[in-house]
Structure 1
Amino acid sequence: MSHTAHIRSHRKPRRSASTLAMRAGVAGGVLSTLAVAGASGSANAAEPVTQTLELPTLTADLATQAAKSADAMQQAAANYELRAERDAAAANAAKQAKADLAEAKKKAEAKKKAEETARRQAAERATRSADRTTLSATAGAGSVSVSTSTGSSTATGSAAAVISFVKAQVGKAYVSGATGPSAYDCSGLVQTAFRQVGISLPRVSQDQSTAGTQVSLSNLQPGDILYWGGAGSAYHVGVYVGDGMFVGAQNPSTGVVERPLSYDPPSGAVRVL
């Protein structure tokens, strides 16, 4: 027996190969896990997390709807423009119609005024003609004599100035409502003539026929105012200028004329001088 047989061996007992393999596998797994975790942590720390949104894919239906919406908007814009053009045209038409109406109204009023003037002048001529016939018949019967044999034929003073003025107007136009200097109506001529000598007469023939002292037609003096129609309702006036003549603004056809009393015998006379 060996002298070392009783001493225990210092060599560790052998482990089995399977045990060693298992331990090695476990250790390797742990190391792998730690390595992956470390790498993941490093990556997360180095780069920020980005969230990606997926946009919907434009399908054929969506494209068709978009095209229809664009067409609808274009059509709406066209309709709006057309409506604006129609509104502008309607406004212009209304403005023109208003102007045409005003012009037509103006022409109608002018026509009406001309017709009224023509009717009045026709009535005056008719009345004057009737009065002339009546006076002629009366004169023939001897009740009225249009004569100046007893009156003065020579004008003096203010009467001469009035006569000179009215004779200077002979040949000028007759215009209803005119008082000179280029045109007159009957009462406008008489009023303007007497204004030359400082006498203010009423404007219309009706009032002028009562503005002075009534005188007989057989006792006329130059400067007397002749009237046709009734005193206070006369439709025509003139100025006696002597020698059986008078001056008056007769009508638009003759204007201011000098005529004998027999041409248009007056109804009466007034004296203001």
Structure 2
Amino acid sequence: MSHTAHIPSHRKPRQSASKTALRAGVAGGVLSTIAVAGAAGPAQAEPVTQTIEMPTITAGLSTTVAASAQATQQVALDIETQAHEDAAAAYAAKTAKKAKAEAVRKAEAEKKAQAAAEAEAKAEAAERASRTAERTTLSASSDSSDSSVSSSSSPSYSSNATGSAASVVAFAQSQVGDAYVSGGTGPNSWDCSGLVQAAFRTVGVDLPRVSQSQSTAGTQVSLSNLQPGDILYWGGAGSAYHVGIYIGDGQFVGAQNSSTGVVQKSLDYDPPSGAVRVL
């Protein structure tokens, strides 16, 4: 016996011929199957058909949707109505503010006009008082220097005027001795322009009421060329403070002041500033 006979071999034991043949057959069958499958080509996929059922809207859901739409419409209508109301309120407020401003403006204008009228009335009253005082002073001065004429307030001259001028002169002379009253228009008391106006009214001539306007009511004439019936004025033309009527022969009739009343006097008694001819 060899000395190495007892040492086991490291080689694997050989498989039996039957097992080897079995394995070869199985492997061959598998490969054949793969080959046949490859030759046949890829298999066609069958289409998949699937039906999806949609939910059906029930009657309750339809009612809810309709109610929601109606509510939305009502909200829109409410918003529109509110917008109209806001616009109307804003317009009304603007109109009221404008009306108030206009009322305030008118009230202020009326107040100013009233104040101006009152101031004008006061100024006129003061001017009239001043004129009356001035005429009174002139009359007193003339009376003291003309003591030889004791009946100067009585007519001492019969005018030779004719026509309308004669009527004017006659009316003026008939008022001599009447009282002087500021603003007087007769029949028994006069102021200077009231007497002149009334005298010319007897012949159908309607003169302005105040002396300022009467001093420009006719044609300006020179004091050296006077005729009976001419209107004499004291002060400037258009700004006269006193008027009278020339009756001829260097004399005039006028409502002088509260002290003398209506008098007939010589022009030297109170020399006028100018004269106008109406007739």
Q: Structure 1-normalised TM-score?
A: 0.47
Q: Structure 2-normalised TM-score?
A: 0.46
Could you say which structure has the larger radius of gyration? 2
